[in-house]
Amino acid sequence: MEVITFTKDTVLSDVHVHTQQKRHLMVRLNRVGQPVFQTHFKILWQNSNLKSASEDCVIITDNEDTEKQCEEELLVFKAPKLCDMQTIESFLDEDGDLEVQRRPQSPSDRDNTKDYARDVVCPTILTIGSEGQIEEEKCENNTDVIKIEHTMATPLEDVGKQIWRGAFILADYILSQQDLFRGCTALELGAGTGFTSIIMATVAKTVYCTDVGDDLLEMCERNVSLNRFFMEQAGGQIKVKELDWLKNEFGTDPENPYSWTDDDISHFYDETTVIFAADVFYDDDLTDALFKTLSRVTQSLRSNCIIYLSMERRYNFTLRYMDITCDAYNHFRNCLNNFETRNGKQRWTAQEIKLMFPQFFIYEREHLELWKITATPLT
């Protein structure tokens, strides 16, 4: 497929924006006929003992390890090295100004500027094998690479089939604060492709990875399988389940492969101490439903619970105000305030987490936020 066109009523996550210009094959069509792609996301483990990539000066350099792993067929992005002050000095000009090496502007520039290539994501180039099936020979079970199947541009109701930057910020937080989550049972709401649940399952014991829609949940389940070795290494497991914020109950229909068994439900209420959700605040009605779900679920848990919510502040010009506004975000903040002041038998304490933790994935942190809510019963 040479050119992918997007119709005006579809949305495309900026996580995937850069993949469209690359030569790549889709892996399959999903059951509603949408092309599904597979992208590899490299985890930059070397950043684990460094400060925030977004806060510090980032100097993009070549990375030899990455280079070795990735030969021509696999366009894995180069990992940036964050430099200490001494190294930074070597990039200062005679007046003391920092000489920033800029990202190449176009694919053709990129070829000519190999030394500081920095692509946001890395589509895997898959090959057609002798039997005609799609093969992928490199990076098999590589503990540095998460493989995610996703679609590229979707109508709004299918946004969960793409990965959003909020998923990266939560994943970064989990990887940088592993002790907070080690051995826990956790619930993800609106998990989409399952990316953040997969990261969580590298430290947690059980992750209930939830969303709505058979097609989406099927994709999510495939991603869990693709990355199973990650979880097996750590002893974690993911259970992909349907949890619709617009319904008051867990689905228990035995005909539905993503429904909850009685054992799941009792295990969930007995053990869950962490709930998380990435980029789920984009529609006011859904935001209301999500807060109600959070309130309902946390009130029934046996233990206190911490909720982590990431989001992107999206600015739009609105005719109503004739100005640029951030309506979905403002609605989120109003809901948060309301639930903090008045929430049945619980006390919610919300706190914004500063984005000072290391960056394990390459993306822009601009306009992203991460919130932590502690939910405790009122005595």
For ligand SAM, the binding residues (CB under 6 A) are: 159-160, 163-164, 166-167, 190-192, 195, 211-212, 216, 244-246, 278-280, 286, 289
Please give the Cα distance from 64 to 67 (Å, whole number).
Answer: 5
Nearer to ligand SAM, 149 or 279 (CB): 279
CB of 182 to ligand SAM, least distance (A): 22
Nearer to ligand SAM, 119 or 312 (CB): 312
Please give the Cα distance from 352 to 297 (Å, whole number).
Answer: 22
Distance of CA 44 to the CA centre of its chain: 15
Report the C-alpha dihedral over residues 117, 119, 122, 125, rounded to 10 degrees: -50
Nearer to ligand SAM, 78 or 150 (CB): 150
CB of 113 to ligand SAM, least distance (A): 30
Nearer to ligand SAM, 206 or 223 (CB): 223
Is-contact 146 196, C-beta < 8 A? no
What are the angstrom distances between the C-alpha of 275 and each of 156, 240, 338, 344?
24, 15, 19, 19
Nearer to ligand SAM, 70 or 238 (CB): 238
CB of 335 to ligand SAM, least distance (A): 15
What are the tokens at 289? 């439903």
CB of 286 to ligand SAM, least distance (A): 5
CB of 148 to ligand SAM, least distance (A): 9
CB of 328 to ligand SAM, least distance (A): 11
Count of C-beta atoms within a 10 Å radius of residue 189: 21
Is-contact 227 198, C-beta < 8 A? yes
Nearer to ligand SAM, 41 or 357 (CB): 41
Handedness of CA 50, 54, 60, 63 (dihedral sign): positive
The residue of the chain with the least Cβ separation from ligand SAM equals 160
Nearer to ligand SAM, 83 or 289 (CB): 289
CB of 15 to ligand SAM, least distance (A): 8
Nearer to ligand SAM, 14 or 244 (CB): 244
Strand order in the sheet with 237-242: 237-242, 206-211, 185-189, 272-278, 305-312, 368-377, 346-353
Nearer to ligand SAM, 110 or 365 (CB): 365
CB of 243 to ligand SAM, least distance (A): 6
Is-contact 191 182, C-beta < 8 A? no
CB of 137 to ligand SAM, least distance (A): 28
Among 79, 52, 255, smallest CA distance to 173 is for 52
Please give the Cα distance from 228 to 226 (Å, whole number).
Answer: 6
